[in-house]
């Protein structure tokens, strides 16, 4: 994606593509996987850089996730992400997953390397 200058925040609604079995562990596995999609690029937004631009390299250093209560990934969840720091080729982002009625079900944090080889 080509970059544009924007605040370091993003909110997206997500749910499973298909029916997830009635096993909370499967829901948690899938949400963990989904939590990494477009997470670090939020830290690039204030700099007007898109993560798919030529010469841009991003890589996760660490990624943690906490599950606060059961949820159903067959239903829509709001993923609210913000970056509180992006400097010296590193970005820090955190996110929260909410049910449609506003219950916090999971939290995420990630630090990554972001380099421009142009």
Would you name the residues annotated as active-site residues? Answer: 36, 60, 110
CA distance 63 to 92: 10
The distance in angstroms from the start CA to the end CA of the chain is 16
CA distance 93 to 8: 9
Nearest Cα neighbor of 54 from 113, 110, 1 is 1
Residue 102 backbone phi and psi in degrees, to 5: 95, 5
């Amino acid at each position: 994606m080509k970059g544009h200058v924007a605040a370091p925040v993003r909110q997206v609604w997500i749910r499973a593509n298909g029916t997830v079995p009635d096993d909370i562990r499967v829901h948690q596995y899938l949400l963990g996987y989904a939590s990494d999609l477009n997470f670090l690029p939020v830290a690039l937004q204030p700099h007007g850089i898109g993560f798919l631009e030529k010469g841009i390299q991003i890589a996760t250093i660490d990624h943690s996730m906490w599950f606060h209560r059961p949820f159903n990934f067959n239903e829509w969840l709001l993923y609210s992400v913000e970056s509180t720091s992006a400097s010296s080729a590193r970005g820090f982002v955190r996110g929260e997953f909410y049910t449609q009625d506003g219950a916090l079900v999971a939290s995420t944090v990630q630090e990554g390397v972001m380099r421009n080889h142009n």
